[in-house]
Structure 1
């Protein structure tokens, strides 16, 4: 940074020195007919020009490198901060807004820094130096600056003040455009299924028009600024020539001094124009910087432990003690007083109506959220105190809507365990009932997977996600309705294979299908965030009305009793 300032400073001094040399050539060389003096001063001007060009090139090069490095560091800082967010912070800020802040907002700040190095270092030096050197040439004529500078500064100030709120609105509307576009790309199948193409086009067009509207308002202010500034510049130039001509005619001034004053006037006003251009960028960059700062200042609700604890044993024992969970600002808790234990070698199932808190309960175990009250224990240690690496190794979650990353089948399966062998991958695929369709793919394990796994079916995506967790080999397996896209036959084969493959692990299954969980060692029934039943299928059929109602909504009395 210091190097950029030094080179920019030297370049600006060279620019300021050239009009004085030009005036000397005119007054002491051309007027007197001294060719040797003209050649000497001309060579000095050439050397000064070379210095100016060299310093300008070096300053712009290092200024660009510095601003690019700042952009890189800002993007990395945002990424690392977002990586530490819980689902709660991501949901509050929104994925489209986070993308905009990481790309467009950082770019605006980066551009401002680049312009600061290339313009703002030079502008004040050129302005002050130009005024001093202009006064040195002719103080009376230079007094015209007392009129031109305040007028130009006033124009810039008024327009910049009006631009700031418009730039904030512009960034918010860019967020909205990104959100709508993201929804439309991700939901293209739903849009086509319901033939809502026209509606989505109109929705996008509306948001696009609102962004265009505010952009046009900014553009009009910019369009007003430049003609106004050029008017001030041109009127000032005419005034200098007019009054300077009269002073030359009166013998109070030489021709060379007039050309120097005109050059310095142009340099002064150009420095103000450069500052004006910067001031136009500052409001937008300021808004972007505030939005970036909001992300960097956001603290996650899931804080890493101050003194991470590594459990003395790794049995995979899971226990919840009087767990409550409430979203910020919510009137009612999602979970209230939930307690149960899941032991190694046993399958615990969780069932309940939609909105009963099943997924939220499961997300508390790997600390996607933190419980509002109570404790979640893994191997006897509260997950809040557990070493994050130990928690990751102990718990494997297959979410309700599994996500596959762009890459290959193998890279997705090795996501949690990069050193897994091909044989381990095939074994996991076989247990997950995915080996057959992966073998049928032209590339096998090297078959490309698109972002989100959109080039495979929902059932295949679920089975690949299950295989990925099997490769990870945790002690506790959490299946959040992970068999919903499978047919009954595949579901049955998969559960049978899992029972054999991970017989010694702790298994917790959230499911809507009674057939998926009826053979579990223990079934937890949730209703409105509370445990209303716990036991085996037979026990709950006899003693839990909520469970009985769920079962009979799917099976006949005879099937339920079988």
Structure 2
């Protein structure tokens, strides 16, 4: 795991090497100063030698400046290395997430991935900065201070050694207790982010149903869980402070008492005593730093594991070794297809699907909620892979195509229409980044989007807010249809993508498709029979199975579900929803 994380340093390896070298240089300078101070006291002040005091004082200034420069260098290179590692980790994770199939994303959840890209990476960044600086400085400072103390007075230095051993054991005990809490807290972060993401994305629904109080309560509960978990961990970790302080003062008192007796008996000089007290503070402060490092490393170890999981995750859908690079036509074939979102599910979502669709046909797909209409079309562009059987496009199994080639020829307008922040032109050119203004306008005309775009003050240069919040649902749907058309696909899938437009506009869009893109295979998922009755053929889905497949007239004559729904919708002036139909 550590190797995986550090493997993302790349161009920041040199700053990672220079940082500890600078810190060691700073420590050496700090350790020299107490020795020089002792000499000033013993030889300069006691010997009344002003020239010696000045010479050693100047040496102290030079050493202090060198130490300051080394410290600045350590801070600069450490910041560069840690922020660089964080940048590379985020990029590596994001790049890998882009390869994920829908199944991979379902495994982690979008809120979990956000937490890993933000909070977890920040923890690694802070921990790496601390390791590069404090993890080198603290041990080096402690070891050099101990060595210098033993050189000055071995008997008094034993006090430090005993204190270091006892405090080291105590720190390990504390960290072992706190570790389990830090590992659990990041799962709580996932739930908190999930609550925020859900609330913000559905803020209109929240306000429409006056559910602010409920959402506040839900967020408060998630935040409280994180608070309580951190409090438990901090209660354990804060024991470190008083124990450390008590040890520092105990060492100072003991050394002062023993040192005073040694000075009186001429076994120790006053300057040496001052140096020992300075080294005492250095040693114990180094232990304090090490305890902070242990806390940060404990927290970051859980984050490192979560980051490594995303980096190591392999997409469940990948290109074959020698992919087919051309889609011949828009013909589609389902051959005994079974599919489940979870391989451990007892029942598949789609069961033994057999369909043959000719290139250029317009196919309607209709069925109740949960009948697996969307699941069926998701297999065509290989957003998911089948469990059994095969799906073929242009006479070739979709698993043999290069995925980019396949998806460029299969345009999908999903149920959740998503627009991105930017102008209308910029949004539409997601379909074809090289599309001319004329081609964009032509696609909008086919999708009946031109009529409302031209009424906007800035026309096609109108800025779309994130998620398309400044356009209506129907306008958003038509823009997404136009974006899909710009790809000039061989297969166009509209997954309930005209549900927010009026019946007249829906009819215009279908007519434009029939006249302008006759060679494109069109799959139209709808709840209204009026949206599909003019299709060449219609698929009736029920509980993951094909209950009927034929023309409008054939289904009226032979399919009970279709006939009952048609009659109920015609009886309601054609506006009834499919789910209001008969028992299906």
C-alpha contact 1:524 1:533 (8 A) present in aligned 2: yes
Unaligned runs of 5+ in 1: none
Looking at structure 2, the residues matched to 472 and 361 of structure 1 have their Cα atoms a distance apart, in angstroms, of 22
**1:355 aligned residue:** 370
C-alpha contact 1:342 1:508 (8 A) present in aligned 2: no
Are positions 1:404 and 2:419 aligned together? yes
**1:418 aligned residue:** 433
**1:81 aligned residue:** 96
Looking at structure 1, the residues matched to 301 and 565 of structure 2 have their Cα atoms a distance apart, in angstroms, of 55
**1:72 aligned residue:** 87
Are positions 1:555 and 2:570 aligned together? yes
Give 1:215 deviation, angstroms: 2.5
Cα shift readout 1:53-98 (whole Å, capped 9, x = no counterpart): 1111111101110000100011111111211111122122111111
**1:344 aligned residue:** 359
2:239 partner SS: helix
State which of 508, 519, 522 in structure 2 corresponds to 1:507: 522
**1:135 aligned residue:** 150
Give 1:559 deviation, angstroms: 8.5
Give 1:558 deviation, angstroms: 12
C-alpha contact 2:331 2:360 (8 A) present in aligned 1: no
C-alpha contact 1:432 1:466 (8 A) present in aligned 2: yes
**1:327 aligned residue:** 341
Looking at structure 1, the residues matched to 260 and 431 of structure 2 have their Cα atoms a distance apart, in angstroms, of 81
C-alpha contact 2:530 2:574 (8 A) present in aligned 1: no
**1:11 aligned residue:** 26
Looking at structure 1, the residues matched to 393 and 405 of structure 2 have their Cα atoms a distance apart, in angstroms, of 10
TM value normalised by structure 1: 0.96
**1:433 aligned residue:** 448
2:365 partner SS: strand
Looking at structure 1, the residues matched to 161 and 66 of structure 2 have their Cα atoms a distance apart, in angstroms, of 32
2:337 partner SS: strand
TM value normalised by structure 2: 0.93
Q: Which moved more, 1:222-231 or 1:52-61?
A: 222-231
Give 1:557 deviation, angstroms: 12
Cα shift readout 1:139-190 (whole Å, capped 9, x = no counterpart): 1111111331123223322221222122123222222111111111122222
Q: Which moved more, 1:373-382 or 1:62-71?
A: 373-382
Give 1:556 deviation, angstroms: 4.3
Give 1:555 deviation, angstroms: 2.0
Change (3 A) 1:251 1:558: closer
Give 1:300 deviation, angstroms: 2.0
Give 1:338 deviation, angstroms: 1.1
Cα shift readout 1:252-280 (whole Å, capped 9, x = no counterpart): 00111111111111111111111111011
The number of equivalent residue pairs is 559
Are positions 1:299 and 2:317 aligned together? no
2:454 partner SS: helix
Change (3 A) 1:180 1:44: same
Q: Which moved more, 1:473-482 or 1:544-553?
A: 544-553
State which of 528, 540, 544 in structure 1 corresponds to 2:555: 540
**2:509 aligned residue:** 494
Cα shift readout 1:222-251 (whole Å, capped 9, x = no counterpart): 433222211211221121111111110111
- CA RMSD of superposed structures (Å): 1.7
**2:289 aligned residue:** 274
Are positions 1:285 and 2:300 aligned together? yes
Q: What is the correspondence of 1:117-516 to structure 2 with a 5 Å cutoff?
A: 117-311=132-326, 314-328=328-342, 329-516=344-531
2:547 partner SS: strand
Unaligned runs of 5+ in 2: 1-15, 576-584
Looking at structure 2, the residues matched to 181 and 314 of structure 1 have their Cα atoms a distance apart, in angstroms, of 45
Cα shift readout 1:504-558 (whole Å, capped 9, x = no counterpart): 1111111111111111111122222122221111111112222222322322499
Looking at structure 1, the residues matched to 389 and 568 of structure 2 have their Cα atoms a distance apart, in angstroms, of 33
1:510 partner SS: strand
Give 1:219 deviation, angstroms: 3.3
**2:7 aligned residue:** none
Looking at structure 2, the residues matched to 378 and 129 of structure 1 have their Cα atoms a distance apart, in angstroms, of 71
Looking at structure 1, the residues matched to 574 and 281 of structure 2 have their Cα atoms a distance apart, in angstroms, of 93
Looking at structure 1, the residues matched to 230 and 423 of structure 2 have their Cα atoms a distance apart, in angstroms, of 42
Looking at structure 1, the residues matched to 130 and 428 of structure 2 have their Cα atoms a distance apart, in angstroms, of 46
Looking at structure 1, the residues matched to 486 and 499 of structure 2 have their Cα atoms a distance apart, in angstroms, of 21
